Chains A and B, each alone.
Chain A
């Protein structure tokens, strides 16, 4: 059954801009080289300011999403406030490490805005070791290819529209080189004014 991390395929990317973040993913669900579905988005809205991308084994993506949804909703009800992105990131990390010796086969990416409008991104491995870089985070089967494109095209303090354009270009450049990702994509652009969702136009082969 080879590697559970690459069995279903899929790639997620998030980039920081000036008071904005963008998070994107492809929509393919496969079984090794066979494409099973082309409508399997891997990004979830946890609250109006926090988005959560998961690349890896589809069953674990779904389970982990439900598990975290439970905790985020409970937090919202108990404290009557939205969970800030850095708190959500830590929650994901501890949730993953709880299963240190039988981990979920998924790599999360978190994107969101703080109350003061400053952007937040983080990524972690399947047992919750976190990085919070200044530029971009990538996960999934196309991660290596997307990283290369991002290193070339990412710039500091991009405006929302430019950020979306660059991130879209980088994702497609990477995903088109990866047989396990592609078949459509979704992007969420998060700014202090609100969130916009985009369906990405891309090669369907």
Chain B
């Protein structure tokens, strides 16, 4: 009850130094379906589990992995509508960068901008924090692949392999065992799917997951894999 007395406004600290709303946002993320990112030597991959609530939903219309710019892609765990707002802002920032500097926005810059947006929603009045964590992949300024996690608090980290969502802690220990420094992109995609399978109820199908890649045999541009391509990795 003490804590809830300070949850009327997220911009107010509780006496213990906590911002209750941000903790709640992390709880929303922890309830979301799992997403994974793995960086390889020659590229980087995103894999996301898709929860379809009903057989009647058109499965192709549910999108978890999205393109941010030519060389960058993003996925999330948590609230879908909040993700859509961040995606829109991320795309706008990346495009503004491209127009201004005449080169594609590096993935670290995209992530920093998204983290900036998310931080502003922890300090502004009349708003709530975003209920999702992001995994951003893409090309760095030096051409190397990059993977970043951005949290509702506004903090962001570069990872070799990262996961967010309800299966994150299990997936992380699984990835820590599986990850190698000299991983190729194809191996990384396999590991990502194996990690998803670990926390998935039943067998993973092309309808129940999504993959986004950049680098390796897919070329440096970001691309979402088709159902047929995912099926090849699953069989």
Q: Is A1 an interface residue (CB 8 A)?
A: no
Is A79's CB under 8 angstroms from B109's CB? yes
Q: Is B101 an interface residue (CB 8 A)?
A: yes
Q: Is B103 an interface residue (CB 8 A)?
A: yes
* Chain B min CB distance to A7 (Å): 31
Q: Is A156 an interface residue (CB 8 A)?
A: no
Q: Which of A87-107 contact B (CB under 8 A)?
A: 87, 89-91, 93-94
Chain B contacts of A87 at CB under 8 A?
A: 101-103
Q: Is B128 an interface residue (CB 8 A)?
A: no
| A-B contacts, 22 listed (Cβ < 8 Å) | A78-B109, A78-B112, A79-B108, A79-B109, A79-B141, A81-B141, A81-B142, A84-B103, A86-B102, A86-B103, A87-B101, A87-B102, A87-B103, A89-B102, A90-B100, A90-B101, A90-B103, A91-B100, A91-B101, A91-B102, A93-B102, A94-B100
A94 and B106 alpha carbons, distance in the complex (Å): 19
| SS class, residues of chain B in contact with chain A | helix
Q: Which of A45-101 contact B (CB under 8 A)?
A: 78-79, 81, 84, 86-87, 89-91, 93-94
Q: Is B62 an interface residue (CB 8 A)?
A: no
A87 and B108 alpha carbons, distance in the complex (Å): 17
A81 and B106 alpha carbons, distance in the complex (Å): 12
Q: Is B127 an interface residue (CB 8 A)?
A: no
A165 and B103 alpha carbons, distance in the complex (Å): 34
Across chains A and B, the number of contacting residue pairs, with CB separation under 8 Å, is 25
Chain A contacts of B142 at CB under 8 A?
A: 81
* Chain A min CB distance to B90 (Å): 16
Which A residues have a C-beta under 8 Å from some C-beta of B?
Answer: 78-79, 81, 84, 86-87, 89-91, 93-94
Minimal Cβ-Cβ distance residue in B for A71: B100
* Chain A min CB distance to B107 (Å): 11
Which among B102, B108, B109 is the interface contact of A90 at CB below 8 angstroms?
A: B102
11 further A-B pairs in the complex, CB-CB below 8 A; given A84-B103, A90-B101: A78-B112, A79-B106, A79-B109, A81-B141, A86-B103, A87-B103, A90-B100, A90-B102, A90-B103, A91-B100, A91-B101
* Chain A min CB distance to B230 (Å): 34
Minimal Cβ-Cβ distance residue in B for A115: B142
Chain B contacts of A91 at CB under 8 A?
A: 100-102
Chain B contacts of A84 at CB under 8 A?
A: 103
Q: Is B63 an interface residue (CB 8 A)?
A: no
Q: What does the 1/0 interface line of B118-161 toward A look like (CB < 8 Å)?
A: 00000000000000000000000110000000000000000000
Q: Is B99 an interface residue (CB 8 A)?
A: yes
Minimal Cβ-Cβ distance residue in A for B108: A79
Minimal Cβ-Cβ distance residue in B for A94: B100
Minimal Cβ-Cβ distance residue in B for A86: B102
Is B112's CB under 8 angstroms from A94's CB? no
* Chain A min CB distance to B144 (Å): 12
A78 and B100 alpha carbons, distance in the complex (Å): 16
Minimal Cβ-Cβ distance residue in B for A130: B102
Chain B contacts of A89 at CB under 8 A?
A: 102
A63 and B106 alpha carbons, distance in the complex (Å): 29
Chain B contacts of A81 at CB under 8 A?
A: 141-142
A91 and B98 alpha carbons, distance in the complex (Å): 10
Is B99's CB under 8 angstroms from A94's CB? yes
A93 and B99 alpha carbons, distance in the complex (Å): 11
